[in-house]
A and B are shown apart, each in its own frame.
Chain A
Amino acid sequence: EVQLVQSGAEVKKPGESLKISCKGSGYSFTSNWIGWVRQMPGKGLEWMGIIYPADSDTRYSPSFQGQVIISTDKSISTAYLQWSSLKASDTAIYYCVRPSTVIRGIILHFEYWGQGTLVTVSS
């Protein structure tokens, strides 16, 4: 059974750094793209980016390019989303997602979702 298990809720102050995680199991982590989706309070879903663990090929949404870093640690089948300097507007639930496949850069549907990590940024 494919599972994406995310790290727990975080409360941070503006300007602090943060790295949240998503551990994949039940499938070949290295051979499948994995990514992140943001949901701000009371709002819709926004695709942030994806990464291919085998070679670290990473694609970002233009809205998030330069704002976050997506990475993986293949040795522990874990993907990460990190910020160097958080803002209050980063307050959201972040979902780890696994696309069914990516063909020539075209992302198909998000077949599997993590449970979500709530990040709260407040002074």
Chain B
Amino acid sequence: QSVLTQPPSVPGAPGQRVTISCTGSSSNIGAGYDVHWYQQRPGTAPKLLMYGNNNRPSGVPDRFSGSKSGTSASLAITGLQAEDEADYYCQSYDSSLRGSVFGGGTKLTVL
């Protein structure tokens, strides 16, 4: 059971917009700690996709955007492409655990 909750899977058609949610609590996201997102393609290491809630590292397309409100955060992907098919993880800091926490991951399937 992960501290941050994500939907196990999200489907989407090419060109569509999808969102992936990440729900936490008052000791992590709700306490104001930033949320970060990672993309993991099969057989590869995770890659930083979004940091500080809504900041894209260099090289990440602007089709990806992030937001945070209350105890939740979301990752939105517009203009879905086949190459976006991957697992996506959210991450934050938890003051009760005094450490970093991840969501359980969401498998994005491009139909």
Q: How far is the CA of A123 from the CA of B102 in the complex (A)?
A: 31
Segment of B13-21, B32-40, B67-75, B76-84 engaged in the interface with chain A: B32-40
Inter-subunit contact B99/A47 (CB<8 Å): yes
Nearest CB of chain B from residue A30's CB, rounded to whole Å: 22
Say what secondary structure dominates the interface of chain B.
strand
Inter-subunit contact B34/A108 (CB<8 Å): yes
Inter-subunit contact A108/B2 (CB<8 Å): no
| Of B34, B38, B46, most A-chain CB atoms within 10 Å | B46
Inter-subunit contact A45/B102 (CB<8 Å): yes
Inter-subunit contact A62/B99 (CB<8 Å): yes
Say what secondary structure dominates the interface of chain A.
strand
Q: How many A-B residue pairs have CB under 8 A?
A: 64
B104 sits at the interface (CB 8 A): yes
Inter-subunit contact B51/A109 (CB<8 Å): yes
Whether A95 touches B98, Cβ cut-off 8 Å, given contacts A44-B89, A44-B104, A108-B51, is no
Whether A109 touches B91, Cβ cut-off 8 Å, given contacts A44-B2, A95-B45, A114-B45, is yes
B48 sits at the interface (CB 8 A): yes
